[in-house]
Amino acid sequence: MGGHRENDETADGDAALLRAVAAGDGSALAVLYDRHAGWLHARLTRRCADPEVVREVLQDTFVTVWRSAAGHRGQEAGGWLWTIAARRLVDARRVQERAARVEPLPDPAVTPSAEDRVLAGLEYGDVGTALDRISPELREVLRATVVDGLSTRETARLLGIPEGTVKSRALRARAELRAALAQLNPSPMGGPA
């Protein structure tokens, strides 16, 4: 039970730090950074092989925290920080994708990891297009459970919703995603044989 109390104390401390950051306290931001930057960096590194992009995303994450701490609605700080970081990473990948379309020849020395290729396909391929067609709350559940590989419990904590809601949204999201993909790629199957 002691560990749980410590987690409660950390969560309470994070909430107090975010209130202080919202009031313009730079030292509170430094403490929040010291507390969370390590695991955020590790998690971003698992999703992006480019250390420069990871550093930029981490920096952008805390700049966003500085600017929008007043908008924190009391959910777990770690989940809120990861949501910001994940969105910044997607933004960075979109910038890279646009730049890659402009560059005439890619550098053969830089090859994206398998995970980067899959995530890029999720963002920019048919799956990404289909994801954009489903409601945001369903999309967030899919991204957390499938792309980030979070458990139902972790997703519930991250999004601030009950576990049962995560499960029902995941089911609805998969059904809507299948329907959206079917609209993008109509299959000749199902017609008369």
pLDDT tens digits, one per residue of 57-114: 999 999 999 999 988 877 788 888 998 999 898 888 888 877 777 655 555 555 655 5
Contact predicate 69/18, CB 8 Å: yes
pTM of the model: 0.51
pLDDT at 129: 74
The pLDDT of 114-140, averaged and rounded, is 68
- Cβ neighbours for 72, distance < 8 A, ≥ 6 positions apart: 15, 18, 22, 80
- Cβ neighbours for 29, distance < 8 A, ≥ 6 positions apart: 17, 21, 62, 65, 66
pLDDT at 167: 94
pLDDT at 29: 95
Contact predicate 65/32, CB 8 Å: yes
